[in-house]
Amino acid sequence: MDVEAALGKFYSMKLTDLIPSMTTMPVVTVDSDLLNVLKILRARHHVWVVRDWESMELVGIIKYLDVIDILLPPELHGFKLGMTSKSMKSLLGGAAKAEDVAEKHPLTIERDATVLDTLKKMKVYRAQVLAVVEGGKLVGEVSLRILIDELLRLLKVGGAQWKE
């Protein structure tokens, strides 16, 4: 299999064939304590926030860089009229639960989408990770790291070599 054939196969793969198990994903519920969220973010780049474990309804995402807003005192957030105040996302501003700091409406993609669909969406929104959903329910995640791993696996299995 040459690189072109490997890429063709890669682009047409369904996300269901490569998303990791839900048990390996960083997921918390809306009422999870913010300190527990911070513990997860020490080792992960994001945490998905769901309504509850039964419904797995996706509510939001907390990204690693959001920790800055959580740690800053409220007066250093800068507030503009008509905007939601980030100061409420601060520990000193009263944030205590995952729902208090989660970015609502995270980028999602349906579980039956292809890798090519995923790459296009990531490019448009300059996103490194997307929630994989089915009817608003979190069923997985896809990241650039997962896509890179899968492409390298295909190239190795297919014996493809990069040519200059």
Domains plus CATH for the chain? 3-158 (3.10.580.10)
DSSP state, residue 17 = G
Q: What is the pTM of this model?
A: 0.86
Contact between residue 115 and residue 147 where contact means Cβ atoms under 8 Å apart: yes
DSSP readout, 66-117? GHHHHHS-GGGS---TTS--GGGGSTTTT--BHHHHPEES--EEETT-BHHH
Q: pLDDT tens, 103-160? A: 999 999 999 999 999 999 999 999 999 999 999 999 999 999 999 999 988 888 756 5
- The per-residue pLDDT for 84 is 52
